[in-house]
Structure 1
Amino acid sequence: MAYWLVKSEPSTWSWDQQVAKGAKGEAWTGVRNHTAKQNLEKMKKGELAFYYHSNEGKEIVGIAEIIREAYPDPSDKTGKFVCVDIKANKPLKTPVTLAAIKADKTLAEMDLVKYSRLSVQSVTAEQWKHVCKLGGV
């Protein structure tokens, strides 16, 4: 199983809005970066992703599950980009801030630190376990 991190500005699409979608989830649309697109294309049904609030909050707040693999993004008029469907899995008991991640030597190589603008990122199994521990899940 691969692990991921998806970013959203809470004013655009928050964790609470994702939770409100329930089991049917929501399409993760609007990604317009080719590296992020490649990550979306690699996602498999049942894999998990950290849900990160960017710009406002700058913290991992929950865990989402991929419930539908990559398909053409209906919001992309060019037909070049894809989306996946995700549903909220569970919140972190304690949000893990970007500052805490940057201060943790175990997470120094995390894509969130190295490629701060990338909206869909891979997460290693070791990083996943460590962030889950920090988040109380």
Structure 2
Amino acid sequence: MKYWLFKSEPDAFSIDDLAAKPNQQEHWDGIRNYQARNFLRDEVKLGEQVFFYHSSCKQLGIAGIAEVVKESYPDHSQFDPESKYFDPKSSPDNPRWVMVDIQLKEKFSEILSLQKIKSLAGINDIGLVKKGHRLSIMPVSEVEWHILYDNSQH
């Protein structure tokens, strides 16, 4: 089993939005970076755990945990000309973009801040703390997963 960190801007989709969904489940769409897409398409598997990270906001950090409940399938927004994620080069016969479904497992009582994450011993390899790594989907090692979880307010 692998572990992941998925970033979302809370004004677009927050952990509270996920909590308000039926069965606290939703698709993770709109990924338009090829490396992040490849993670979703080729590596993110059913049952794997995901840190839900709030980005581009006042309080950056991990807000909780979700679980992958459906593996990759075509992202419907790529076919919708009205969507900001529309891709005219994509077609139902040859989709370029995928999404997965996640379900909320746990919302932390406090966000585990990026500042705190960067200060933790043993957190060195996750893209989140490396300069220039801005991917919205990234792997988390099992060691780092446990360090981060053990330092969260859950």
Common fold by TM > 0.5: yes
Distance (Å, rounded) in 2 between the aligned partners of 1:83 and 1:123: 19
Q: Hey, what does 1:19 align to over in structure 2?
A: 19
The 5-angstrom pairing of residues 1-137 of structure 1 reads 1-23=1-23, 25-41=25-41, 42-56=43-57, 57-77=59-79, 78=90, 79-114=95-130, 116-137=133-154
Unaligned runs of 5+ in 1: none
Residue type at the aligned position of 1:3: Y
Cα distance, 1:22 vs structure 2: 4.0
| 8 Å contact from structure 1 (residues 92, 132) kept in 2 | no
Residue type at the aligned position of 1:20: A
Distance (Å, rounded) in 1 between the aligned partners of 2:7 and 2:103: 14
Cα distance, 1:23 vs structure 2: 2.3
Distance (Å, rounded) in 2 between the aligned partners of 1:132 and 1:93: 12
Cα distance, 1:2 vs structure 2: 0.5
Distance (Å, rounded) in 1 between the aligned partners of 2:65 and 2:110: 12
| 8 Å contact from structure 2 (residues 9, 55) kept in 1 | yes
Worse-superposed segment, 120-129 or 92-101: 92-101
Unaligned runs of 5+ in 2: 80-89
Worse-superposed segment, 103-112 or 79-88: 103-112
* TM-score relative to the length of structure 2: 0.84
Distance (Å, rounded) in 1 between the aligned partners of 2:63 and 2:115: 14
Distance (Å, rounded) in 1 between the aligned partners of 2:46 and 2:19: 18
- Runs of 4+ off more than 3 Å: none
| 8 Å contact from structure 2 (residues 66, 105) kept in 1 | yes
Identity of aligned residues (%): 37
**Number of aligned positions between the proteins:** 137
| 8 Å contact from structure 2 (residues 3, 48) kept in 1 | yes
| 8 Å contact from structure 2 (residues 112, 153) kept in 1 | no
* TM-score relative to the length of structure 1: 0.93
Distance (Å, rounded) in 2 between the aligned partners of 1:116 and 1:37: 15
Task: Tell me the SS of whatever aligns to 1:18.
Answer: helix
| 8 Å contact from structure 2 (residues 18, 24) kept in 1 | no
Distance (Å, rounded) in 2 between the aligned partners of 1:63 and 1:23: 15
